[in-house]
């Protein structure tokens, strides 16, 4: 195994799954760019990494904005190192039934997940190709298989799977792998907000979800971080174009 220190970018890493992934990659020995909409919101994740002896950089950027992404990736390359690991994790939900869904809610979800992953991958791939090494991990979801009230989100998360497979096909010969993680129910502010929207206390919401999950519990951000750590590792170079469901069972 190589002892090269890799530089990773984790988008949406101020909290939730992204924060857990950022901390785990730092614990694995990577330098981590903690990217979220507002650099100040990344402070907790950066402090936790530094307190554990790791190296991290807070980066404020909107993944859906081309100029913002270009500036962010340049900053990471200059101030931390050439990014060769990318975790496309930033995400939003704008749930509604089809007949009530606005064009704005459709476009917002498509922009953050699909446009965001596209822009971030395009901006970082040159560093990966130059280094003959790259790991791209995209966050899909069990919602890719269809989920009531999430026509925008499920389309975006299914789109992430096709996007991932094409990245794997195009970039494989440069030492770059691309894989997707499709989480089931993970306890974060995203799922807490969903519980609030449907008017159920989060603890009850989680307990009800756990009853439908074969391992009889909901997921935690560290469950996803563990899988991302494997896919981003040096040794995972022959795993590419895969979608790994991390859902406590074969489906949500
Ligand atoms: N929580 C779950 O059950 C679950 C299940 C399946 C998939 N996912 C996916 O995992 C990822 C992380 O989810 P989470 O639960 O941690 O969500 P979260 O809402 O807790 O965190 C998402 C982060 O992304 C950031 N973000 C949003 N838009 C952004 C943008 N345009 N640019 C940069 N950052 C932006 C937010 O500020 C936030 O810090 C998302 O892609 C989500 O769709 C979550």
Q: Is 245 a catalytic residue?
A: no
Query: Does residue 64 have its Cβ closer than 6 Å to ligand 1?
Result: yes
User: Long-range contacts: 51-60, Cβ < 8 Å, 24+?
Assistant: 52/23, 52/26, 52/27, 54/26, 54/27, 55/26, 55/31, 55/80, 56/22, 56/26, 56/31, 56/32, 57/31, 57/32, 57/33, 58/34, 59/9, 59/33, 59/34, 59/35, 60/35, 60/36
User: In the 8-state DSSP scheme, what is residue 233?
Assistant: S
CA 87 / ligand 1 centre spacing (Å): 12
What's the rounded Cα separation, in Å, for the pair 179 and 237? Answer: 11
Determine which residue's CA is closest to atom 31 belonging to ligand 1: 62
CA 94 / ligand 1 centre spacing (Å): 12
Q: Which atom of ligand 1 is nearest to the CA of 190?
A: 19
- Residue-level pLDDT at 2: 53
Q: Which atom of ligand 1 is nearest to the CA of 140?
A: 7
**CB within 8 A of 118, min separation 6: which ones?**
163
Count CA atoms within 13 Å of residue 123 on its CB side: 26
Q: Which domains does the chain have, with CATH numbers?
A: 7-184+221-246 (3.40.50.720), 192-218 (no CATH)
CA 17 / ligand 1 centre spacing (Å): 7
Residue to mutate (ligand 1; options 9, 10, 11, 12; most atoms within 8 A of CB): 12
Q: Which atom of ligand 1 is nearest to the CA of 90?
A: 24
Query: Does residue 14 have its Cβ closer than 6 Å to ligand 1?
Result: yes
CA 142 vs. chain centroid, Å, equals 14
- Residue-level pLDDT at 50: 98
**Residues 50, 127 contacting (CB under 8 angstroms):** no
Statement: the pTM of the whole predicted model exceeds 0.75: yes
- Residue-level pLDDT at 77: 98
**Residues 245, 215 contacting (CB under 8 angstroms):** no
Encode the chain (252 residues) as per-residue pLDDT tens digits.
457 999 999 999 999 999 999 999 999 999 999 999 999 999 999 999 999 999 999 999 999 999 999 999 999 999 999 999 999 999 999 999 999 999 999 999 999 999 999 999 999 999 999 999 999 999 999 999 999 999 999 999 999 999 999 999 999 999 999 999 999 999 999 999 999 999 999 999 999 999 999 999 999 999 999 999 999 999 999 999 999 999 999 974
Backbone angles phi and psi of 34, in degrees to 5? -95, 100
Query: Does residue 17 have its Cβ closer than 6 Å to ligand 1?
Result: yes
Count CA atoms within 13 Å of residue 83 on its CB side: 32
CA 189 / ligand 1 centre spacing (Å): 9
């Amino acid at each position: 195994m190589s002892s090269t220190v890799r530089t990773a970018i984790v988008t949406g890493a101020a909290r939730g799954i992204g924060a857990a992934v950022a901390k785990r990659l730092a614990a694995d020995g990577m330098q981590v760019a903690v990217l979220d909409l507002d650099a100040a919101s990344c402070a907790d994740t950066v402090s936790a990494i530094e307190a554990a002896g790791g190296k991290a950089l807070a980066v404020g950027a909107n993944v859906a904005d081309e100029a913002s992404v270009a500036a962010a990736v340049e900053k990471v390359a200059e101030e931390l190192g050439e990014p060769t690991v990318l975790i496309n994790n930033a995400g939003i939900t704008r749930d509604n039934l089809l007949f009530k869904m606005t064009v704005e809610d459709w476009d917002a979800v498509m922009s953050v997940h699909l446009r965001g992953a596209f822009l971030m991958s395009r901006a970082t791939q040159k560093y990966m190709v130059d280094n003959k090494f790259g790991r791209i991990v995209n966050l899909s979801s069990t919602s890719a298989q269809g989920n009531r009230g999430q026509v925008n989100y499920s389309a975006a998360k299914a789109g992430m799977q096709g996007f991932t497979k094409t990245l794997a096909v195009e970039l494989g010969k440069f030492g770059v792998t691309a894989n997707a993680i499709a989480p089931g129910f993970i306890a974060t502010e995203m799922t807490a907000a969903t519980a609030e929207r449907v008017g159920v206390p989060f603890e009850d919401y989680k307990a009800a979800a756990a009853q439908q999950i074969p391992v009889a519990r909901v997921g935690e951000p560290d469950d996803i971080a563990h899988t991302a750590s494997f896919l981003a590792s040096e040794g995972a170079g022959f795993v590419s174009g895969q979608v790994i469901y991390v859902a406590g069972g074969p489906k949500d």
